[in-house]
Amino acid sequence: MTTWMWILVSVIIIQRLVELVIAKSNEKWMKARGGIEKGEEHYKLFILLHILFICSILLEVSVQEQGTAAHSLDYFLFSIFIAVQLGRLWCIYSLGRFWNTKIIVLPRVALIKKGPYKYVKHPNYIIVAIELFIIPALFGSYLTAFVFPILHLLLLRVRIPKEEKALTRATLQ
């Protein structure tokens, strides 16, 4: 792998770990105020998906590199990656203490309808779907770019209905 690839993979891993720390802090804050967690059974599948995603990119790049020239950075794809990261930050900032990687709801708290949530119900899921395509495409890992967005969509078929149900019940109480 080239230097830029190692740097980008490292940044993505660090970003995900920082997000887990933020999510854990927000989880503690919400639960201390009566927050209720829902959908715990499928959460581990999301963690597994993201771990396997990074592993798949690394594996695919290492297989490709045997006997070939180094893959160069595609600036168009990289600009999309940067835009998507800004969208991710917008989502986190807009939800503030309510942002989480888990489904945690506070009863009798109105849904947040600012930032990207003013326009789309689940903008973070759209951002992740784009990332699951763009990041491996940056590395030339096209099999990963094809498989992981599909796996993500399959998990969302479970998660979104659970999240919608939890949010609807919590805001009605």
Q: Which helix (H) or strand (E) holds 78?
A: helix 75-95
User: pTM for the full model?
Assistant: 0.91
Which SS3 state, helix, strand or coil, does residue 1 take? coil
How far apart CA 104 and CA 20 sit, in angstroms, is 14
Amino acid at 41: E
Torsions phi, psi of 113, nearest 5? Answer: -125, 45
Tell me the pLDDT tens digit for each residue of 106-129. 988 888 999 999 999 999 999 999
Tokens 């639960």 found at: 31
**Token pair belonging to 132:** 């699951």
Q: How many CB atoms lie within 10 A of CB 112?
A: 13
Please state the rounded mean pLDDT for residues 6-18.
96
- What pLDDT does 94 receive? 97
Of residues 39 and 79, the one with the higher pLDDT is: 79
pLDDT at 172 over 60: no
Percentage of the chain modeled with pLDDT above 70: 95
Exposure string of 138-150, with b = 16+ CB inside 10 Å and e = fewer, is bbbbeebbebbbe
Tokens in use for 112?
Answer: 């947040």
pLDDT interval class at 171 (50, 70, 90): low
Q: Note the pLDDT of residue 1.
A: 82
Output the average pLDDT for the chain: 93
Q: CA geometry: angle at 146 spanning 38 and 139, to 5°?
A: 105
Domain count, the chain: 1
Q: Which two tokens stand for residue 22?
A: 């933020």
- The pLDDT of residue 173 is above 80: no
Q: Domain containing 152: what range?
A: 3-63+71-172
Domain of residue 17, CATH code: 1.20.120.1630
pLDDT in tens, 43-97: 999 999 999 999 999 999 998 877 666 778 999 999 999 999 999 999 999 999 9
Residue 63 Cα distances to 4, 58, 130, 145, 159, angstroms: 18, 9, 24, 15, 33
Cα 74 from Cα 81, distance rounded (Å): 11
